Structure 1
Amino acid sequence: MNSAHLFPFKFELFGQSYHYHYLFETLSFIIGVRVYYYLKKGISDPISDEHRLWIMLGAMLGALIGSRLIAILESPEALGQLSFLMLYQSKTIVGGLFGGLFGVELMKKIIGVNIASGDIYVVPILTALFIGRMGCFSMGIDEPTYGVETGFFMGMDLGDGLRRHPVMLYEMIFLLILFMLFTSIKRKELINGDRFKLFMVLYFLFRFAVEFLKPYHPLFLNLSSIHWSALFIFLYYYKFIIRMAQTIFYPKALNYG
């Protein structure tokens, strides 16, 4: 089916045409926050409300910086023409998660919190990501999140007459799988912080792989800033990755020493 006339999705308001992307982006934040507060009611949080607010502030500031930095590095050839407007308009969720992680860790050191704090954010983040990616998908090729040309059966015309990998649609499917995974282990006893670590490792693993389906710009060694961000996350969580691998492949060895 020719879908060139479908992308980007827009709506009319007071005689002006607007992208649905901005609506989804706003909804993702609002609904994600509401999901967080809904889930928070059902748990006994070892971190005080005041410290939670400081941690969220650290996450937001880190995400603000990280999302812009990693996005700018996605197009290294444009660094010579960098402007405030370009910096303001550029953002990527990988950079947001990357920067948010280290913003939280820095803030926790400042306020003296040494308890893992990320597990409660996993489902709200998944919810916000899914809604936000609906907006990205609705943009077609008007936003640089589309894929390269393909003969794959899921290839779609995203607005330029070419069959491309609908990368954002792939991500939405992956996010649903992650949601089902974390729902299935909701009552499983895990070390505090392991759910968030698992989310970060799996999400960045997906982003590392799917980046090869996009027309990316290499930053170094033919890898993009998204690739390097993922590799850094794998290195940061290497102890967790090894422990999870041992749990999966050598459970008896762990049980019996």
Structure 2
Amino acid sequence: MPLHEIFVGLGVFVASVVFVREARRRGALNEQSLVAVTGALVGGAIGMRLAGWLETLDLKDLWLYGSRSILGGLTGAYVGVLVAKKIIGYRERTGDLFAPAVALGMAVGRIGCHLTEAPGRPTDLPWGVHAPATTPECPGCMAGQAMHPSFIYEIIFQLAAFAVLMWARRRLTQPGELFTLYLAGYAAFRFLVEFTRANETLWLGLTGPQWFLTAGLPLLALRLAYGWRRGYYDPLFPRKVMT
């Protein structure tokens, strides 16, 4: 089994363990929540491979390149959960159960990306890394250039996000807000880190993931503003009372 797939599998396993522990802590470990997990896994797998295939538009590459699209996987997992819950008539929100699990699972999965994919764009920064000349789709690797360790950046972000989510989970009482904060944070981070990634730019110097996020970020900002106005985040960011 390729090294990348091994770490993706480990990431899914770690995420599943965190999900079960969090669901048990919240008293939400039941058949319905497990169906939601199944929906997330199936939807995530389909989303990753479908989004990756759209980058090549070659049917024979559907399996080969599909696993590279994390944004497609997250979108597919979200849709998969919604569909699974709709089928069984489950109305409880499950996003807060998934948030810490996804963050830690992504951190583990990105280790495989760092070990097998083009690290990032060339850089003169002292922490630039070199990858083997045999790394696929990496001209800089063949030239021996130092490159941004973009996947290391993401591993650090996901570990920090996991720590923050574990701290915030007992403080936020409004259902769904933990998941909203994670999505907004990751979307903003991913847009910025794309400037160091080796992904091909499409238009105006932006990559495919950045154009995808261009539509999502304003919606997430509006959602955060909605929660802020209603005081959902006061337990984390107390407002100063004017006297």
| TM-score interval, normalised by the smaller of the two chains | 0.7 to 0.9
Is the CA contact (8 Å cut-off) linking 2:104 and 2:159 kept in structure 1? no
Is the CA contact (8 Å cut-off) linking 1:70 and 1:226 kept in structure 2? no
In structure 2, the CA distance between the partners of 1:54 and 1:184, relative to structure 1 (3 Å rule), is closer
2:111 aligned partner: 134
In structure 2, the CA distance between the partners of 1:138 and 1:201, relative to structure 1 (3 Å rule), is same
TM-score calculated relative to the size of structure 2: 0.80
In structure 2, the CA distance between the partners of 1:37 and 1:212, relative to structure 1 (3 Å rule), is same
CA–CA distance in 1 between the matches of 2:13 and 2:238?
A: 42
Q: Which amino acid aligns with 1:189?
A: L
1:98 aligned partner: 75
- Measured after TM superposition, the shift of residue 175 of structure 1 is 1.2
Per-residue displacement from partner, 1:124-180 (whole Å, max 9, x unpaired)? 2122111111121122xxx24x21101122211122221100001111111121122
- Measured after TM superposition, the shift of residue 33 of structure 1 is 1.4
CA–CA distance in 2 between the matches of 1:67 and 1:89?
A: 11
Q: Aligned pair 1:87/2:62, yes or no?
A: yes
2:34 aligned partner: 53
| DSSP 3-state at the match of 1:69 | helix
Alpha-carbon RMSD across the aligned residues, in angstroms, is 2.8
2:156 aligned partner: 173
Q: Which runs of 5+ in 1 are unaligned?
A: 1-17
Find the partner of 1:193 among 161, 176, 189.
176
CA–CA distance in 1 between the matches of 2:18 and 2:34?
A: 16
In structure 2, the CA distance between the partners of 1:66 and 1:223, relative to structure 1 (3 Å rule), is farther
Deviates more, 1:105-114 or 1:93-102: 105-114
CA–CA distance in 1 between the matches of 2:164 and 2:47?
A: 27
1:217 aligned partner: 200
Is the CA contact (8 Å cut-off) linking 1:63 and 1:97 kept in structure 2? yes
Q: Which runs of 5+ in 2 are unaligned?
A: 133-140
In structure 2, the CA distance between the partners of 1:106 and 1:219, relative to structure 1 (3 Å rule), is farther
Runs of 4+ deviating beyond 4 Å: 219-222, 244-250
1:13 aligned partner: none
Find the partner of 2:5 among 22, 30, 50.
22
Aligned length: 226
Is the CA contact (8 Å cut-off) linking 1:147 and 1:165 kept in structure 2? yes
TM-score calculated relative to the size of structure 1: 0.76
